[in-house]
Structures are given as C-alpha cells and as structure tokens.
Amino acid sequence: MEKNLYRFILKHSLKQQITITLLSLASFIPYYYYLSMPKAIVNQGIQGKDIQFPVDLLGLGLIRLDHTHYLLALCVGFLGLVLVQQAFKYVINFFQGVTSERMLRRLRYDLYAQMLRFPLPTFRRTSQGEIIPMIIAEVEPIGGFIGESFALPIFQGGMLLVIFTFLLVQNPFMALAAVALYPIQFYFVPKMQAKVRALGRERIRNQRRLSDRIGETVSGMVEVHTHDVSSRMQAEFTARLGISYWIRVEIFQRKFMIKFLNNFIQQLGPFFFYAIGGYLAIRGQLDVGTVVAAVSAHKEMAAPWKELLNHYQNREDSKQKYEQVVTQFEQERMLPPEYQLDEPETPVDLGGAISVSGVSLHDDQENAILDNLTITVPWPARVAVVGGVGRDELLQLLARTLEPDRGKILINGQDTGALPETVTGRRLAYVGSTSHIFNATLGDNLFLGLRHRPQKSPERTPDQQSRFEKEIGEAIASGNCPFDPEADWTDYKAAGADAPDSLTVRAIDALRAAAFDEDVFQLGMRGSIDPEVQPDMAQRVLEARRAFRVELTNGALADLVESWDPAKYNTNATVAENLMFGTARNSIYQDDNLARDPHILSVLDMVGLRRRFLEIGHEVASTMVELFADLPPDHEFFQQFSFIASDDLPDYKDLLLRSRPDALDQLPEADRVRLMSLPFKLVLARHRLGHFDASEREAILRAREIFARTLPDDRRNAIAFFDPEQFTVSSSIVDNILFGRVAYGQAQAQEKIGRVMADVVAQMELREPIIAVGFQFEVGIAGARLTAAQRQKLAIARSVVKQPDWLLLSEATAALDPRSQAAVMAEVLERRKDRGLVWSLQRAADCSGFDQILVIEGGKLVQSGSYSDLSGRQGRFRQLLEHA
C-alpha cells in the first residue's frame, strides 16, 4: 500500500479529483455576480441611483421595465444566481461524497487484504480489538477527507478569493478590515488544534485497549465466573473508561476555546464594516448599497474560512491516521498479493515425497524451535510424529501456515516456499488441536476447503443481472474483489464429485471418517425442510411416519406416543397445541402472544372458556407460588413446571397479592394477560394440577374447529396445522415422523422410541438425506452451538472431504474421548493408505498403525523408522512407549 495519503489519493482518484476541481473553478464566475447582486438591488432597484427608467433590459428595446418591475427582475436574478450556486455545491458535494465512499471502500478492502497476508505469528501479538477498529472506525474520517482533499481547499479558498476581490473592488479599506484578523486565527487555531489532535490520538489508542479488554473478557467469560474476578475486571475497565473521560474533557476545553476564538473574530468583521463603512457613507465617499453588499459578502467569508480551518485539521488528522494504520498493517515477512491470487497455468500435483532440508525456526525470543532439521518422507506414506518441541511446528511448516527462517521444503519436487496458496491451500490440509468454525451453516463450514473461486453463476432476471453488473462495476472501480459472491463456489471435482448429490455422498463419508455422522444425523432430525422445495423428501418422511406408526402398534410400544388426532384431545401436548392443532410459523401465535390475540380470545368467548382461562391462570399461579416459594432455582420441580421461571415467581406473587378470585375481570389488562398465558402452557399428563376436566377438554376441541374455520385469511400462513397426510411445515423431521407427543411417565420412552425411529429411518433409506438436512444447521459464533468435540470433528471432516494430497493433523483428536479418538484414527488411516498423512501425536502408543515414525526432540530428528523397528530397540521412542 502507498505510505503517503496524497499519493494514495492521486493514484486511485486522480480523474475524480480533476473533475471536482474543474467544477469548483467553474462555480466562481456566478458566485462573483451573486455577491454583486445585493449592491445592484439596493442602489438601482430600490434607490434608483445612476439609472434611468424605464430600463431597456436587453439593450434591444424589446423588454422595457419601470422601477418596480426592474427591482423584481433583479430579485429574480438574485434568486437564479442562488439556485445556480447551490446547484454547483450540490454537484460538487455529491461527487465528493461518491469519491470519498469509493476510496474508503478501497482502503478498507486493501487493509482487509493486507490482513489476510499477515504471517500467522502476527495474530499472537495483535488482537482482534486492535485490528477491527482500525479497519472499521479509524479509517472512516480518512474516507471523508479523501473526497475533499483537493476540491475543498480550491473551492473554499477560491470563494474567499472571490469575496476578497469583490470587497477590494468596492473599497480597499473594508477589504483589509475583512481579513485583518485572519492571520491571528491562522497562527493560534492550528496550534490549539494540534493539541486536540494529539489528545484524540491518545483517546483512540485507549479505545483500542478498551476494545481489546472487552474482547478478552468475552473470550474468558468462563474463567471470570470460575475465579470470581468480575469485580477486578470491572475496576480495570473503570480505570480505562476514566482515561477516556479525562482525555475527552480536555478535548472539550480546547475545542470550545477554538470555537469561541473563531466566533469572536468573525463578529469583529461586522464591527469594522459598520464603523468604517458607516463613516464613509456619512461622508459621502461610499454608497449604502456598497456597505450592505460588503456586510453580506463578509458573512459569506465565515463559512469558507471555517471550512478551510477544519480542512487543515482534518488533513493533519487524516495524514497521521493513514500513516499510522498503514504502518501497522505493514508486517515483516508479509505474503505478497500474488501468493493468494495467482492461478498456476497447469495443475500442480503435490502427491509425492516430502523433503525437508536444513530447516530452522525460531520463536520471538530467537530460541530455536527447529534446528537444521532434515527429513525425507516417502510417498505414499502414513507418518506419525512424536516427541517434544518442534513436532507441531513441523506440520505447520509443511502446511505453509508458518515460514522457516532457513532451509527448504520440497513436496513432490516442488519448493513449497515458491508455490502460491492457490496450490498449497488446495492440495494440502491442516488441522490443529483447536480449529476455528465460522458463524455459518454446518455445510458451509464442511465445504469451506472446496470454495476457492466461483464455479457457476446463478440464474438472474434481467433486472437482477443489471443490478449485479452495477454492483460488480462499482466493486472494480473501488479496487475490490470482482468475484460473484452469490455464485456456486463449490469445486465438486476436488472432492471427487460432479454434482451436489454426489458431493453429499462424499461429505457423509468424510463425516463418518471423523465419527461425526451420527451427530449431524441428530441435528438433521431436529431440523426441518420446505415441502415445496423438497417435495420428494417430504413424501418420504410421510412414508416413514406411516411405517413408524405400524411399528408402534406392536406390543408394549403402543402406549409410548399419543398421536395427533383431529377428534381427540392430546393430554401430552400443551393446551395451546390442542387448541390450534398445529405449530406457529411466526411470532403471531407464539405462546406469550396467545393471551392477547383477538382471534384466540374471540374463540374462547364462543366456547365459554375465556373467564375459565383467567380463573385457571390464577389457580396455577397460586399453586406455583405456594410450591416454589422456598425452593432453590435448580430444584427438579422447576423442570417439571417448565412454563414458569424462578425469576418470574416474585412478579406472580405480587400479582396474587393485588388480586381476588372473584374480581379477576377488574385487573389491569397486563395482569390479565399474564394470568391467561399460564393455562396455554399446561400439559395435563405432565402437570396434573386437576384443571381442564372432560367437559372443558370438549370445549377445547370445539374451539379447535372454530379457530381453524374462522382464521383470517391474512393469518393462514401463521399456523402449520397437523394433518396425518401432510408434512407439517415448521416442525422438525423427528416431530413429523413422531406425529404426536411422547407419553409422559413411561419408563425409557425416549430411548425405545429413538431405537424404533432409527430402524424406520434406516429401512426407508432416509439416513443420508436427513444428514444432508443437518448441513443447514446454524453453528453459531465460532461454532458455539456445537460442543468442543463436535467442532473438532467438523474440522477433521472439512479437511478429509477436499481429498488433499497430504493431510496434516496436529493432535487433531485431543478434544475427543478415547473411544472417538480410536475410531477417527482407524477411519483416517484406512482412507489415507494410498495417500499422504502426517499426524503429530501426543502418545507413542498410538503410532502402531503408521508406516513411518519420526521422533523429534529439541527441534532435531532423533529417530525414524517403523513401529516394530523403533519399539524393538533402545532409544527415545522406546522411552516414550514405556512412559505412556
């Protein structure tokens, strides 16, 4: 990147800067006449001085104006000049704004691209809290300055020059009076502004440290609670806030002193004009129109002068911020842009032997991690690396996530140091002991290693294509990436597939290799599909529902599930589910909204249950307050009565104190809603509070029919009704197959049902399609909705599915339990028997299935050979085995 701000501006926006400058220069001519017009209006239009009426307006005798009409013509001319001047300002400001935003977009993109080329050790020293504000917040003012960098001083300076010239023409004394105090401002104000800028930079540095502290607190929240250090953290944060506060106070003092000085000096101008101009007018040496025009022109001087002072401050701020940010984004040993962008003319194959020659690597303190290491690994080979310091770094060097200080690494005869990432990032795969999972779907993370370049553009309508071309054109003009983000980026061939369906097969095999297929299957079972988009899948789920129902009719399984029946009340479902006989598709019919919904309330009125719901709500609230008053929040009763939280009990207790059972209708609406919300959440088989007898359940069934029949047309899509022959939209796949509720109180009901359902899914060959549904699961920020083991399994599967020439694993199963570790190792070893695998292991006992073992100690290779060879003779590997 350019280290000088003005070189950056001229390099990328010279054409725009010239256009804005020419517009600024063109605006000065009408501006001079705009300044002259008040004088003409006062002297000629009002006083009729030095003019004879009627006036020949065009000098052709076609338009002759009397005194009044001539005044009106001058006023219209003045208004026209105002419009012309404002039009110039609008066009100039618009072009400045577009240029600023385009250059800001380019600057942020360049910084982001720079960050992507940082050597990985940089991120051990630099936190997110430092990098993010620099790219987002700190460069924002720079973008605003870029648009005005040349045009503003030319435009505003030119306006000042035009005004001064006009005053000079009118009277030299007034012209000198207008600018007499500007040198004082020009001397003092920048000095005061320099101090304000210095304070601002200090505040920015403190804000970065604040951001860093907040980010660190979020990341270490478990430790904060575990060790009870919240008070200490709050105290440290308070101190940081205090630094920002006092810096801001001092900025305010100086900033408003500058404003005071500017305003005072500006007001001295009219004083001189009125005094000098008035004196000259009394003496007859100056006419009144000239005085009025001079005062008006001087008022015009305030704005451009203020703009120039602000521009000077912004220029210095922007130059320093730009240089500071660019300097911090220039890292030693940073990767060149070609490393990420260059595509080889012919495919590069890394399926060959590894040769590590004289490689050395040091840490930040210049301590040797690898010391003149030389290793040869044949192809194909499954290699285990054990020992101490250096083994994990060796794999990172092979994967190009680290660069050696000295030495060379060849893979299949290719110098990896000279290969672009478009080769190493596709032909090699690395998984460390912890791997980052992005905030996207599970499938997006799984196929991340297959998405390098757009493969196929989506179909677009003419309007969509026009908008897309406009977007891409603007991206190119801003120096941004020209690739289509909405295209299909998946490289199916890299995974050994040719279409989405065959890729799914490959992906499931990779999940199986990582012992992750069952987890994804369960996520898929809890997911849902759109039957309009996947009608075949929906039909197969319905077939599974029918097969599952047949299985439940056998023996003791019949009582495990209470199915949905339009003519029956389901005692294992909530009252709300029984009334609506469906699931809510949006927030309209969520549980907390039912007690205030007009349609629900009208249906309850029709069946005579509205008052009864209020009474039951009062009774339920009384029972819960009585039962839970002295129980801790984690008591099992809170799980049983899950529709009320321990935090809500005090509110219900207060509500009961101000209500009487015989006057519930007189309660405020908010209290009535709270009470009426409780009955909707009751599950009769579970809660057993004695409410909703047979007659009331019959009333609920009548309400069910009325609710569906009278549902307004605009709410038809808010409910997915239960239908034995239809897939229930918005319900999960498992709920669609179950089509009912598990009976409460049945021993091991969930386990028995799970086994039956698994058998049905297998018989219907639905397992793989359901796993594919699991690909749509949103994993959350950094994969927070997955367990640590699941995140690591996903990282392994992500590397396996792209079928790299060399798979590099560094304690990749450390987060897994022993059984899963053994399963993953066995599966990966089997799949890589004809390919390349290097696995850094913590335990020597795990090396038995590998073709070759490398023992590294102190950054040096101390032993190498097969498991049978190394375990049968004395040496470091034998010691590691004995101490395992």
pLDDT value at 184 more than 70: no
Place 413 in a pLDDT band, splitting at 50, 70 and 90. very high
Q: Same domain for 154 and 291?
A: yes
- pLDDT at site 872: 86
Place 289 in a pLDDT band, splitting at 50, 70 and 90. low
- Integer angstrom CA distances of residue 79 from 39, 510, 544, 640: 14, 75, 79, 78
Assigned domain for 636 exists: yes
Q: Same domain for 320 and 363?
A: no
Task: Pick the range with the lowest mean pLDDT from 44-48, 170-174, 775-779.
Answer: 170-174
Provide φ and ψ at 49, rounded to 5°. Answer: -80, 135
The better pLDDT of the pair 874, 121 is held by: 874
Cβ atoms < 10 Å from Cβ of 459: 7
CA 355 to CA 760: how far, in whole Å? 52
Assigned domain for 529 exists: no
**Pairing relationship of beta strands 381-387 and 406-411 according to DSSP bridges:** unpaired
pLDDT value at 52 more than 70: yes
pLDDT value at 356 more than 90: yes
- Integer angstrom CA distances of residue 10 from 4, 105, 113, 692, 730: 10, 16, 21, 79, 55
- pLDDT at site 282: 74
pLDDT value at 163 more than 80: no
Place 398 in a pLDDT band, splitting at 50, 70 and 90. very high
In this structure, are residues 216 and 129 in contact, taking their beta carbons and an 8 Å threshold?
yes
- pLDDT at site 274: 67
Boundary residue ending a domain (719, 744, 774): 719
In this structure, are residues 859 and 368 in contact, taking their beta carbons and an 8 Å threshold?
yes
- pLDDT at site 505: 93
Helix (H) or strand (E) run with residue 214 in it: helix 182-219
Cβ neighbours for 472, distance < 8 A, ≥ 6 positions apart: 482, 484
Place 576 in a pLDDT band, splitting at 50, 70 and 90. very high
CA 840 to CA 384: how far, in whole Å? 6
Report the pLDDT averaged over residues 362-387.
90
Place 155 in a pLDDT band, splitting at 50, 70 and 90. confident
Assigned domain for 218 exists: yes
- pLDDT at site 593: 86
* pLDDT tens-place string over residues 57-67: 766 667 778 88
Cβ neighbours for 844, distance < 8 A, ≥ 6 positions apart: 386, 877, 880, 881, 884
CATH number, domain at 402? 3.40.50.300
CA 768 to CA 297: how far, in whole Å? 80
pLDDT value at 68 more than 80: yes
Q: Same domain for 178 and 288?
A: yes
Q: Which residues pair with 778 in a beta bridge?
A: 441
CA 188 distance to own-chain centroid = 44
In this structure, are residues 442 and 774 in contact, taking their beta carbons and an 8 Å threshold?
yes
Provide φ and ψ at 859, rounded to 5°. Answer: 80, 10
- pLDDT at site 180: 63
Report the pLDDT averaged over residues 103-115.
87
Task: Pick the range with the lowest mean pLDDT from 39-43, 79-83, 780-784.
Answer: 39-43
Residues 239-275: b if buried by 16+ CB within 10 A, e if exposed: ebeebbeebeeebeeebeebeeebeebbeebeebbee
pLDDT value at 192 more than 80: no
- pLDDT at site 698: 95
pLDDT value at 329 more than 90: no
Following DSSP, what letter does each residue of 279-338 receive, concatenated?
HHHHTTSS-HHHHHHHHHHHHHHHHHHHHHHHHHHHHHHHHHHHHHHHHHT--TTPPPTH
pLDDT value at 85 more than 60: yes
CA 212 to CA 208: how far, in whole Å? 6
Q: Same domain for 264 and 363?
A: no
Place 2 in a pLDDT band, splitting at 50, 70 and 90. confident
Report the pLDDT averaged over residues 308-337.
78
Please choose, from the candidates 428, 354, 496, the residue with its C-alpha nearest in 3D space to the C-alpha of residue 805: 428
Q: Same domain for 791 and 661?
A: no
Share of the chain above pLDDT 70, in %: 90
Q: Which amino acid is at 724?
A: P
Following DSSP, what letter does each residue of 72-106 receive, concatenated?
HHHHHHHHHHHHHHHHHHHHHHHHHHHHHHHHHHH
- pLDDT at site 641: 59
- pLDDT at site 318: 81
- pLDDT at site 61: 64
Assigned domain for 70 exists: yes
Q: Same domain for 311 and 397?
A: no
Provide φ and ψ at 254, rounded to 5°. Answer: -75, -40
Please choose, from the candidates 452, 348, 364, 455, the residue with its C-alpha nearest in 3D space to the C-alpha of residue 402: 364
Report the pLDDT averaged over residues 352-371.
90
Strands, E assignment, 558-649: 561-563, 582-584
Report the pLDDT averaged over residues 327-339.
76
CATH number, domain at 41? 1.20.1560.10
Report the pLDDT averaged over residues 696-707.
94
In this structure, are residues 793 and 343 in contact, taking their beta carbons and an 8 Å threshold?
no
Token digits for 534? Answer: 């996947």
pLDDT value at 604 more than 90: yes
Q: Helix (H, G, I), strand (E, B), or coil: what is residue 856? A: strand
Q: State the helix-helix crossing angle for 151-170 and 28-40, rounded to 10 degrees.
A: 30
Assigned domain for 478 exists: no
pLDDT value at 269 more than 70: no
Q: Helix (H, G, I), strand (E, B), or coil: what is residue 859? A: coil
Boundary residue ending a domain (671, 694, 719): 719
CA 506 to CA 368: how far, in whole Å? 42
Which of 266-275, 547-556, 753-762 holds the top average pLDDT?
753-762
Please choose, from the candidates 595, 489, 532, 96, the residue with its C-alpha nearest in 3D space to the C-alpha of residue 314: 96
Q: Same domain for 316 and 363?
A: no
Structural domain including 681 reads 584-719
Task: Pick the range with the lowest mean pLDDT from 129-138, 154-163, 171-180, 216-225.
Answer: 171-180
Assigned domain for 501 exists: no
In this structure, are residues 143 and 100 in contact, taking their beta carbons and an 8 Å threshold?
yes
- Integer angstrom CA distances of residue 519 from 512, 757, 767: 10, 16, 12
In this structure, are residues 343 and 426 in contact, taking their beta carbons and an 8 Å threshold?
no
pLDDT value at 221 more than 60: yes
Assigned domain for 125 exists: yes
The better pLDDT of the pair 513, 663 is held by: 513
The better pLDDT of the pair 298, 308 is held by: 308
Residues 695-732: b if buried by 16+ CB within 10 A, e if exposed: ebeebbbebbebbbeebeeeeeebbbbbeeeebbbebb
The better pLDDT of the pair 636, 418 is held by: 418
Report the pLDDT averaged over residues 420-449.
91
pLDDT value at 323 more than 90: no
Q: Same domain for 391 and 318?
A: no
Count up the domains in the chain and report the number. 3
Q: Same domain for 645 and 792?
A: no
Q: Same domain for 788 and 830?
A: yes
Report the pLDDT averaged over residues 694-714.
93
Q: Same domain for 211 and 171?
A: yes
DSSP code at position 343:
P
Cβ atoms < 10 Å from Cβ of 376: 12
- pLDDT at site 754: 87
Please choose, from the candidates 131, 113, 104, the residue with its C-alpha nearest in 3D space to the C-alpha of residue 481: 113
**Pairing relationship of beta strands 406-411 and 354-362 according to DSSP bridges:** antiparallel
- pLDDT at site 293: 66
Following DSSP, what letter does each residue of 149-185 receive, concatenated?
TTHHHHHHHHHHHHHHHHHHHH-HHHHHHHHTTHHHH
- pLDDT at site 435: 87
Place 290 in a pLDDT band, splitting at 50, 70 and 90. low
Mean pLDDT of all residues belonging to the chain: 85
- Integer angstrom CA distances of residue 458 from 396, 455, 465, 467, 476: 37, 10, 10, 14, 20
619: buried, middle or exposed (CB in 10 Å: 19+, 13-18, 0-12)? Answer: middle
- For the question of whether the overall pTM of this predicted structure is more than 0.85, the answer is no
Question: If you compute the radius of gyration of the chain from its CA atoms, what whole number of angstroms results?
Answer: 39
pLDDT value at 541 more than 60: yes
- pLDDT at site 177: 64
Assigned domain for 646 exists: yes
pLDDT value at 691 more than 80: yes
CA 428 to CA 869: how far, in whole Å? 29
Q: Same domain for 821 and 708?
A: no
DSSP code at position 441:
B
pLDDT value at 599 more than 80: yes
pLDDT value at 642 more than 60: no
Report the pLDDT averaged over residues 334-357.
85
In this structure, are residues 574 and 681 in contact, taking their beta carbons and an 8 Å threshold?
yes
Report the pLDDT averaged over residues 496-501.
90
Please choose, from the candidates 457, 441, 728, the residue with its C-alpha nearest in 3D space to the C-alpha of residue 583: 728
